[in-house]
Amino acid sequence: MEQSDIPRAKPEPVKGAAHLLAAAKYSIGGVRRLWEETAFRHILIALPICLGGLALGEATITEFCVFIALIFMLVAVEALNTSIECIVDHLAPQWQEFARDAKDLGSLATMCVLIVNGIFLFSFVFRAFLAA
């Protein structure tokens, strides 16, 4: 049995200021786990490229803020998709239809947010570079 499969006692709830520190620790753990996903690393590679394009196109502060919000939404959905995949892989080590459906739906959610990001970037490129 792997060490991660050994049952442990549930930790006591943390309250007050310690709760904020614990939540930050859990979020950092989530980023570390998400780093293992190729899709997340692709997002981080695309981020400075897209920000550079926005800067070259003289984006407004509002456009920068919308883009950053869309990137955070994409990361959030990718994190949720990854969490679904982790749970499904644990519950169904062999192929099962519910597992395929859950993974496909998580992938669809990620694709929808990617499309929204693409629509935003296309509309910006059109306005900044093509509509003269």
Could you give the CA distance from residue 18 to residue 8 in angstroms, rounded to a whole number?
Answer: 21
The residue among 68, 57, 61 whose CA lies nearest residue 131 is 57
Q: How long a stretch of residues is the chain?
A: 132
2, 78, 85, 97: which is the annotated catalytic residue? 78
CB 57 within 8 A of CB 125: yes
Query: SS3 of 60, please?
Result: coil
Does residue 78 carry a catalytic annotation?
yes
CB 16 within 8 A of CB 55: no
Angle (CA) 36-67-33 rounded to 5° is 15
Looking at the annotation, which residues are catalytic? Answer: 78
